[in-house]
Amino acid sequence: MAEWLRERGVIEPAGLIVLGSGWSGLAETAEPIGVWDYSGIPGLPETTTPGHPGRLMHVVWHGVTCVVLVGRWHVYEGHTFAEAALPGMLAHALRCRWLLSTNAAGGVASHLRVGDLVVAEDDVFLWNAKGFRQRAEERFSHVPRYSELLENAFDRAGNAVNVRFSKGVLAMMTGPCYETPAEVGMIRASGASVVSMSTVPESRWARLAGLNAAAVSCVTNLVPSSPLARIRHDEVLEVLGMSLAKAARLIERWLEDEYVRCASGRRCYGLA
Ligand code: HPA
């Protein structure tokens, strides 16, 4: 898959961005160099969830050449955790310096409100997924943290464009159902601030491979406190649509940061 992209001119992009549920409009301001449907790229799964168009874009975005995966495939669509980690593997194979994941998430921490943005400092991965663990973790005894350099770039970007966000812990559940109140109790006890159905496999893979990773969640709902509360995917997409302008200001400014651009020409991140 990386070779196929290299043959089409995708040579050492600075980073790879994954746009999750409802985030796809974010890439509209990027200048495309090449755009391919996942279905035409060897090794990339197709997407079936509404709000996940399934397009890979090679773009220049605020001066940064990067790859954008517009839409995800998920474990709840029948993929393994290793397949869910493919964006991290692809970022590594393309020699990207960083991976930025975005997702829709349920707000667990009591201070969160619908529409809030949360930048991940850490994550909770409850799944001892065989293929994933064997392939990703055999050479490592611990998972590197999310990149402080990229987090600091978010602090600078947020201050510059006056977009508030909080930092917290991202938990992943497999879906496709939203969590039961009992599961919410477990997630809350784990210390997670937000819960999503994605991101953690790709991010862990990238971190284990030596890339810098960041993740931004948009809180599309608060996790249900009563068994009667219902969350719907179309409402998740609608809320994300309303928060996208704010998220775009933050991420576009983040792309302009010199740590993210590596404007100085030195390899400021990761890969040896
Ligand atoms: N749980 C899991 N994933 C989600 C949620 C949620 O409440 N909202 C959006 N994605």
| Model confidence pLDDT, tens digit, residues 20-32 | 999 999 988 899 9
Query: Nearest CA to 104 among 251, 238, 243, 236?
Result: 236
Residue 163 forms part of a structural domain: yes
| pLDDT tens-place string over residues 116-133 | 999 999 999 887 666 666
Residue 66 forms part of a structural domain: yes
Backbone angles phi, psi at 119, to 5 degrees: -95, 130
Distance of CA 46 to the CA centre of its chain: 17
The rounded mean pLDDT for the chain is 89
User: From the alpha carbon of 231, which atom of ligand 1 is closest?
Assistant: 7
Report d(CA 3, CA 14) in Å as an integer: 17
Work out the average pLDDT over 157-173. 97
Residue 214 forms part of a structural domain: yes
User: From the alpha carbon of 103, which atom of ligand 1 is closest?
Assistant: 10
Residue 271 forms part of a structural domain: no
Alpha helices in 20-176 (DSSP H): 81-84, 86-93, 130-137, 148-161
Owning domain of residue 6: 2-264
DSSP summary character for residue 40? G
Q: Ligand 1 centre from 51 Cα, in Å?
A: 14
Residue 152 forms part of a structural domain: yes
Q: Is the CB of 220 under 6 A from ligand 1?
A: yes
Q: Ligand 1 centre from 176 Cα, in Å?
A: 9
Q: Is the CB of 16 under 6 A from ligand 1?
A: no
Q: Ligand 1 centre from 180 Cα, in Å?
A: 11
Which pTM does this prediction carry? 0.92
Residue nearest to atom 2 of ligand 1 (CA): 196
Domain with residue 186: its CATH number is 3.40.50.1580
Report d(CA 160, CA 157) in Å as an integer: 5
Give the β-pairing of 212-222 and 117-125: antiparallel
Q: Is the CB of 240 under 6 A from ligand 1?
A: no
| pLDDT tens-place string over residues 84-98 | 999 999 999 999 999
pLDDT band at 137; cut points 50, 70, 90: low
Q: Domains in the chain: how many in total?
A: 1
Give the β-pairing of 15-19 and 64-70: parallel
Contact assessment for residue 13 and residue 33, using Cβ atoms and an 8 Å cutoff: no
Residue 270 forms part of a structural domain: no
Q: Is the CB of 222 under 6 A from ligand 1?
A: no
| pLDDT tens-place string over residues 55-75 | 999 999 998 999 999 999 999
pLDDT for residue 263 is more than 90: no
The number of residues in the chain equals: 272
